[in-house]
């Protein structure tokens, strides 16, 4: 590899730490613990997953003698958005497979799940993967957001696995991808294919977690990167004393990233979507809350500050959901579309739509600046729907707050930021590097023991790496039935921020102080070669996990 930086060179040599329970795979023996069932919708899930339902939690123990293992053929795929540590799942999986049997082989499907359907793959040899040890990104094999859902896709996946004579398939993905892994596991079992499917919990969003999955990988690295950037902006704001920074943070629906970054940096305000929903807050109420904070700080001569906004906020504001569904309905009418297209100016188009909205939606629409109104009317997906996730909430709030403050003669100098992609592909933090390498090992051991429909799990993560506990958790036990695009489907339940969690309580306890005083905290950039307390630090929300 050319153009290798000095840090990259050092990290390529880093040997991730494994927990004690995974240090000697030759004597590892599985222990069947209690059976795990879903918390709700048991009957429906049992019906859909006859072969993978009601399985035991798997733990590991060391036997006195070494076990005879067979060489295995295993494939791996990335599914969904990038998250730091993905390459270490692959290197961990590769190293573990070779430790279990030196003739085992690992393949990588290209560009995500579509690679399984189209049978596009490469063999991952030591020479290839050695360049990716402790590296960020998913570029070794690429990723994609395709799903394997239709009978034709499932059958193609079956044919690919059969052709490659795969003993195992490891799906590295978020909640939906792991649901998909379980669908594949069930399909393969139903059709007597020997390929065991194992999921690995990935997503920077942190919303794939439950009793046994303490965190998804990538969350630690992403929140460390965003927090460093936020803290730098806080210090800049404190130095120049002239701007308010409205920072939107990636994370899809859940606000785990915003909450973690707030706990790390102590901004003047952080909006948590789950609280907005709980308090039934409207856009006007959120605007007033921010405007009040700015007014209060203005009295102290502090015309600067930092406000964090979670990416999914809009979805949690009821009036917005109603407005968007009304707009989708109105604009799906061909006649209205034609009338709009025949109007020349944006103002005319907006006026025309305003006549067709209900009173409540009109109130909400009128709060919006023209740029967002334009986005709502014109920027639509192939199904004609508003692209909610692309609405620039940070800019929207700047405009609505500006308007409110103008009435009080307070001028707002605000700048907007969006941190997302910059946190997904960096070198993994040492926590993510060790966690992912170990998750890869667990996946290999589960396949070696002919287990399918399981998620690789490590818990006790607050403790020293040595003491982490490895497990296999039946994926069906994490599922419930939800309506998706109007159809009832089995899916892994997305974990949102819980308002009675210790992490939220900690934020709640401190936020008044952070609003007024400039109590900013500066976590600094990720450290790789420092005292363990710094280099192996874990998310605050993980430390405070109930």
Nearer to ligand FBP, 130 or 422 (CB): 422
Q: Which residue among 95, 205, 260, 399 contacts ligand FBP (CB under 6 A)?
A: 205
The angle subtended at Cα 415 by Cα 410 and Cα 417, nearest 5°, is: 145
Asked if residues 131 and 93 have their Cβ atoms less than 8 Å apart, the reply is: no
Q: What is the Cα–Cα distance from 402 to 52, expressed in whole angstroms?
A: 55
For 369-385, b where at least 16 C-beta lie within 10 A, e where not — what string?
beebbebbbeebeeeee
Q: What is the Cα–Cα distance from 13 to 134, expressed in whole angstroms?
A: 8
Q: Of 6-14, 49-57, 197-205, 509-517, which part binds ligand FBP (CB under 6 A)?
A: 197-205
Q: What is the Cα–Cα distance from 306 to 289, expressed in whole angstroms?
A: 14
The interface mask with ligand FBP, positions 232-251, x = CB under 6 A, is ------------------xx
The residue from 95, 167, 175, 205 that is catalytic is: 205
Nearer to ligand FBP, 390 or 467 (CB): 390
Asked if residues 84 and 424 have their Cβ atoms less than 8 Å apart, the reply is: yes
Residue 355, token pair as written in the block: 């006549």
Residue 240, token pair as written in the block: 């120049």
Q: Please, what is the minimum distance in Å from the beta carbon of residue 81 to ligand FBP?
A: 3
Q: Which residue among 28, 48, 204, 283 contacts ligand FBP (CB under 6 A)?
A: 204
Q: Of 78-86, 228-236, 428-436, 437-445, which part binds ligand FBP (CB under 6 A)?
A: 78-86
Asked if residues 218 and 416 have their Cβ atoms less than 8 Å apart, the reply is: no
354-393: which residues touch ligand FBP (CB under 6 A)?
389
Nearer to ligand FBP, 244 or 435 (CB): 435
Q: Exposed, middle or buried by CB within 10 Å (0-12, 13-18, 19+), for 278?
A: exposed
In this structure, the strands spanning 479-484 and 487-492 are antiparallel
Q: Please, what is the minimum distance in Å from the beta carbon of residue 464 to ligand FBP?
A: 28
- Our measurement of the distance from residue 262's CA atom to the centroid of its chain's CA atoms, rounded to an integer in Å, reads 17
Radius of gyration of the chain (CA): 25
Q: What is the Cα–Cα distance from 60 to 472, expressed in whole angstroms?
A: 9
Nearer to ligand FBP, 115 or 305 (CB): 115
Q: Please, what is the minimum distance in Å from the beta carbon of residue 202 to ligand FBP?
A: 6
User: Nearest-CA neighbor of 395 among 244, 230, 269?
Assistant: 244
User: Nearest-CA neighbor of 249 among 310, 179, 318?
Assistant: 310
Q: Please, what is the minimum distance in Å from the beta carbon of residue 440 to ligand FBP?
A: 18
Interhelix angle 502-516/256-265, rounded to 10 degrees, is 50
304-323: which residues touch ligand FBP (CB under 6 A)?
311
252 binds ligand FBP per the rule CB under 6 A? yes
Q: Measured between alpha carbons, how far apart are the two ends of the chain, in Å?
A: 44
Q: What is the Cα–Cα distance from 125 to 363, expressed in whole angstroms?
A: 60
Residue 174, token pair as written in the block: 């978020």
205 given a catalytic annotation: yes
**Helix (H, G, I), strand (E, B), or coil: what is residue 245?**
strand
Q: What is the Cα–Cα distance from 97 to 500, expressed in whole angstroms?
A: 42
Residue 475, token pair as written in the block: 């994926």
Nearer to ligand FBP, 86 or 472 (CB): 86
Residue 448, token pair as written in the block: 């070696």
Q: Please, what is the minimum distance in Å from the beta carbon of residue 138 to ligand FBP?
A: 10
Q: Of 13-21, 201-209, 223-231, 446-454, which part binds ligand FBP (CB under 6 A)?
A: 201-209
Q: Of 75-83, 100-108, 184-192, 534-542, which part binds ligand FBP (CB under 6 A)?
A: 75-83
Q: Please, what is the minimum distance in Å from the beta carbon of residue 104 to ligand FBP?
A: 28
Nearer to ligand FBP, 83 or 225 (CB): 83
113 binds ligand FBP per the rule CB under 6 A? no
Q: Which residue among 16, 19, 38, 81 contacts ligand FBP (CB under 6 A)?
A: 81
Strands (E), 377-502: 414-419, 454-459, 469-474, 479-484, 487-492
Q: What is the Cα–Cα distance from 169 to 180, expressed in whole angstroms?
A: 12
Q: Please, what is the minimum distance in Å from the beta carbon of residue 311 to ligand FBP?
A: 6
20-39: which residues touch ligand FBP (CB under 6 A)?
none
Q: Which residue among 136, 137, 174, 440 contacts ligand FBP (CB under 6 A)?
A: 174
Q: Please, what is the minimum distance in Å from the beta carbon of residue 257 to ligand FBP?
A: 8
Q: Which residue among 19, 38, 80, 305 contacts ligand FBP (CB under 6 A)?
A: 80
203 binds ligand FBP per the rule CB under 6 A? yes
Residues paired with 200 in a beta bridge: 172
Q: Please, what is the minimum distance in Å from the beta carbon of residue 193 to ligand FBP?
A: 27
92 binds ligand FBP per the rule CB under 6 A? no
Q: Of 37-45, 105-113, 198-206, 487-495, which part binds ligand FBP (CB under 6 A)?
A: 198-206
Nearer to ligand FBP, 88 or 195 (CB): 88
- 3-state SS record for 89-115: HHHHHHHHHHHHCCCCEEEEECCCCHH
Nearer to ligand FBP, 113 or 472 (CB): 113
Nearer to ligand FBP, 85 or 251 (CB): 251
Q: Please, what is the minimum distance in Å from the beta carbon of residue 222 to ligand FBP?
A: 8
Q: What is the Cα–Cα distance from 340 to 465, expressed in whole angstroms?
A: 61
Residue count, binding to ligand FBP (CB under 6 A): 14
142 binds ligand FBP per the rule CB under 6 A? no
Nearer to ligand FBP, 106 or 208 (CB): 208
Active site residues: 205
Residues that bind ligand FBP (CB under 6 A): 80-81, 83, 145, 174, 203-205, 250-252, 311, 389, 424
């Amino acid at each position: 590899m050319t153009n290798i930086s000095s840090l990259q060179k050092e990290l390529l040599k880093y040997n991730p730490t494994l927990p004690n329970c995974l240090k000697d795979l030759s004597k590892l023996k599985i222990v069947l613990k209690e059976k795990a069932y879903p918390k709700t919708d048991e009957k429906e899930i049992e019906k859909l997953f006859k072969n993978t339902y009601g399985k035991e939690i798997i733990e590991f123990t060391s036997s006195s003698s070494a076990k005879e293992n067979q060489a295995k053929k295993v494939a791996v795929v990335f599914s969904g958005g990038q998250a730091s540590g993905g390459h270490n799942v692959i290197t961990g999986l590769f190293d573990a497979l070779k430790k279990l049997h030196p003739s085992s082989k690992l393949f990588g499907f290209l560009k995500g799940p579509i690679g399984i359907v189209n049978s596009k793959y490469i063999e991952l040899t030591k020479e290839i993967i050695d360049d990716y040890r402790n590296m960020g990104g998913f570029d070794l094999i690429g990723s994609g957001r395709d799903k394997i859902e239709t009978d034709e896709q499932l059958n193609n996946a079956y044919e690919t696995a059969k052709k490659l004579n795969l003993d195992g398939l490891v799906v590295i993905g978020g909640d939906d991808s792991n649901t998909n892994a379980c669908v594949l596991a069930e399909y393969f079992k139903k059709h007597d294919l020997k390929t065991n499917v194992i999921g690995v919990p990935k997503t920077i969003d942190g919303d794939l977690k439950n009793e046994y999955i303490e965190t998804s990988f990538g969350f630690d690295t992403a929140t460390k990167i965003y927090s460093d950037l936020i803290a730098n902006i806080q210090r800049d704001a404190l130095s120049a004393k002239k701007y308010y920074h409205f920072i939107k943070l990636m994370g899809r629906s859940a606000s785990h990233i915003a909450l973690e970054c707030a706990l790390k940096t102590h901004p003047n305000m952080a909006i948590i979507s789950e609280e907005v929903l709980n308090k039934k807050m409207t856009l006007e109420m959120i605007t007033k809350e921010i405007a009040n904070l700015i007014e209060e700080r203005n009295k102290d001569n502090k015309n600067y500050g930092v406000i964090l906004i979670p990416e999914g906020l809009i979805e949690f504001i009821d009036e917005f959901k109603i407005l968007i569904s009304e707009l989708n309905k109105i604009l799906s009418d061909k006649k209205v579309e034609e009338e709009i297209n025949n109007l020349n100016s944006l103002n005319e188009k907006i006026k025309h739509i305003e006549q067709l909205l209900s009173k409540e939606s009109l109130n909400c629409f009128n709060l919006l600046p023209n740029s967002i109104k334009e986005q709502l009317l014109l920027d639509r997906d192939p199904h004609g729907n508003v692209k909610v996730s692309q609405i620039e909430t940070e800019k929207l709030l700047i405009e609505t707050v500006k308007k409110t403050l103008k009435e009080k003669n307070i001028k707002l100098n605000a700048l907007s930021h969006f941190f997302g992609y910059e946190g997904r592909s960096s070198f993994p933090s040492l926590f993510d590097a060790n966690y992912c390498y170990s998750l890869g090992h667990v996946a290999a051991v589960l396949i070696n023991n002919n287990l399918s429909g399981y998620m690789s799990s490590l818990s006790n993560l607050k403790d020293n790496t040595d003491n982490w506990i490895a497990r296999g958790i039946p994926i069906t036990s994490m599922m419930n039935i939800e309506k998706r695009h109007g159809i009832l489907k089995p899916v892994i339940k997305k974990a949102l921020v819980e308002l009675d969690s210790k992490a939220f309580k900690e934020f709640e306890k401190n936020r008044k102080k952070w609003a007024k005083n400039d109590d900013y905290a500066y976590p600094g950039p990720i450290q790789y070669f420092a005292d363990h307390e710094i280099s192996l630090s874990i998310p605050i929300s993980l430390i405070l996990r109930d």
